[in-house]
Structure 1
Amino acid sequence: MSGHSKWANIKHRKAAQDAKRGNLFQKLIKAIIIAAKEGGGDPATNIRLKAALDRAKAASVPSNNIERAIKRGTGEIEGATYEELAYEGYGPEGVAVIVECLTDNKNRTTPEIRMIFDRNGGSLGATGCVAWMFERRGVINIGGDDLNEEELMEAALEAGAEDVENDGGFVVYTDPSVVDEVKEGLESKGFAIDEAESQLVPKTTVKIANPDKARKILKLMDLLEGHDDVQNVSSNFDIPEEIMDQVE
């Protein structure tokens, strides 16, 4: 699972890039709308909405924007209707890629995503071509220095986690349905949570040992993540730290 931990680090870099592009708020608002649409506007009974609200608040999205997004999702006020789409394909070096989108215009989004793949050494595939390489899990990244691994493991398992890994940073894995409960359990024990969400985790990874090849893959990831309709990009590449150092 080291590849996924590396990918988790890349996702943190993505968050900073999103903020620079100015589209982070838009993505968070879309996530709130679709969560409220599917499960209602009460975060106490809608786990997905609660997670979306937590991310929005962490990014300092204004409360009035959040309230409007919830009402748009529940139909109390009118607005664009979003649908969820997942695109599957391959990137440079044959790495598997899944792109999760929220869009109000599928006919616009699909050709744009296809073009990004085609122009950057990848190819969009049929539904199901790479989904079997991933599984959805709850992923909690733990912050802080000098953490005691045994104490974290004990607290995580007590809270309902499945596993804890240390690969340049602690990651707690859970069933996606209990990620919020485990997060709250860890916070109650004093652990700082950097990120907690449901993610597509690769079952196996492809090691990329060449800086030039790594740059091509990361360029594709950056362009996909920069698209306004893209919510998440998951891939199964593993770029070792020494190669990342040469890329950056």
Structure 2
Amino acid sequence: MSARRKGMGFPDGAHSMRPCDAWGGSRVGARLMSECAIEFAEVVISLCRPDPIEKEAFDSRSFLPHMVDMITETTDSTTEQDRTFSTMQREIAVAAREQGGEADDNFRLRYAVRRAEEANMPEGLIERARRQGVGEVAGPTYEEVIFEGYGPDGIAVLVEAITDDVRRTSHELEELFEAHGGNIGDDGCVEWQFERRGVVRVDTRHVDDEDQFMLEVIEMGGDELRGPILRDRDDGRVPTYRIFCDSTDVRQLDRAMERAGYPVHTASTMFEPTQRVELSPEQARRFLSFFEKITDHEDVQGAYANWSVA
């Protein structure tokens, strides 16, 4: 088994922290939005963000009850919050270490702090993580790594992690894969089935004409518009567009959106599969049970899989 040290694909400190576009949220315990259930299962699952589940391309209504049963199981909220905060602290620390501790000048840090604030992470923890990253306070030395492997039914899985002990994290993830009939493989064994893309999320309440907005998106460097998808925010459920672009253009697109007066919720990169494996509802339930264990791991920042529902 091997783990690849992660080279950042984002320019100027941007990062793939929020790669989610089928599932994202405050880990797997996030709420399911029934309005979007018909659009579920678009393959990329991401966590460690305070956003609710996103769903797209879900074409089996009969699968929804099974999903609701599985992902709404109760968990200890304090433990869940502690894990989420720990994961966010690592991202803030690494972002500050790589590109400096000033959020205005550090694209990655700016969105990491914003997500932490939206998750109600105490300001003191945020500041300590930032200072740890720039070396002002002592703390662990974190590494970014990518694990590749296969989950149940041969589904390709990419896992992004930030860890202070690569060997420990490798061992723990290997055990989780093997316990569910999967395995972690060598570097490159599944990454060829994915492409990295940039994604910027914009509040659609500021979009009056979708056709005109799409033309503006193209002029700004975007190449695809998806949505809207509902997100739970402090001011209620907010419809959000996702604008996709080349992974190297995401910071440019983020700035262009802000200049044009469209408030950006998050900007990041993600891995999107180039091909998908169709699963039956029962296979999907089994895969999601496995994926919940992976995404609950404290070191895991993002995870992706090439599945859809038949």
TM-score with structure 2 setting the length:
0.67
In the alignment, residue 116 of structure 2 is paired with which amino acid? A
- The answer on whether the counterparts of 2:111 and 2:266 sit within 8 Å (CA) in structure 1 is no
Q: Secondary structure at the match of 1:216?
A: helix
RMSD: 2.6
Letter in 2 for 1:172: I
CA distance in 2, matches of 1:46, 1:142: 20
User: Please, what TM-score do these two structures have when normalized by structure 1?
Assistant: 0.82
**Structure 2 counterpart SS, 1:44:** helix
Whose helix proportion is higher, 1 or 2? 1
Q: Does the 8 A contact of 1:144 with 1:192 survive in 2?
A: no
Rounded to whole Å, the distance in 2 between the matches of 1:137 and 1:220 is 25
Q: CA deviation at 1:62?
A: 2.3
CA distance in 2, matches of 1:143, 1:16: 24
Residue equivalent to 1:57: 117
Query: What does residue 152 of structure 1 align with?
Result: 213
Count of aligned pairs: 233
Q: Secondary structure at the match of 1:213?
A: helix
Q: Is the 8 A contact 2:27 2:84 kept in 1?
A: no
Structure 1 partner of 2:292: 222
The DSSP-based 3-state class of the residue aligned with 1:196 is strand
Q: Could you tell me which residue of structure 2 aligns to residue 161 of structure 1?
A: 222
| 1:198 corresponds to 2:269 | yes
Paired residue type of 1:103: T
In 1, Cα distance between the equivalents of 2:193 and 2:98? Answer: 27
Equivalent pair of 2:148/2:186 in contact (CA under 8 Å): yes
Listed as ranges, the gaps of 5+ residues in structure 2 are 1-19, 31-47, 51-76, 230-239
Q: Structure 1 residue 203: deviation in Å?
A: 1.7
CA distance in 2, matches of 1:164, 1:132: 24
Who is 1:131 aligned against?
Answer: 191
Q: Which one-letter code corresponds to 1:10 in the other structure?
A: W
SS of 2:298's partner is coil
Q: Does the 8 Å CA contact 1:155/1:186 hold for their aligned counterparts? A: no
The amino acid that maps onto 2:194 is F
Question: What is residue 278 of structure 2 aligned with on the other side?
Answer: 207
Q: Could you tell me which residue of structure 1 aligns to residue 137 of structure 2?
A: 77
Alpha-carbon separation, structure 2, partners of 1:204 and 1:196: 24
Identity of aligned residues (%): 33
User: Partner of 1:244 in structure 2?
Assistant: none
Superposition pairs of residues 77-156 of structure 1, within 5 angstroms: 77-144=137-204, 148-156=209-217
Shift of 1:118: 0.5
Say whether the 8 Å CA contact 1:28–1:52 is kept in structure 2. yes
Question: Secondary structure of 1:238's match?
Answer: strand
Residue 235 of structure 1 is matched in structure 2 by: 305
1:11 is aligned, of 3, 24, 34, to 24
Q: Secondary structure at the match of 2:269?
A: strand
C-alpha separation between the residues in 2 aligned to 1:187 and 1:58? Answer: 19
Distance 1:135 1:87 in 2: 15
Matches of 1:214 and 1:148, distance apart in 2: 37
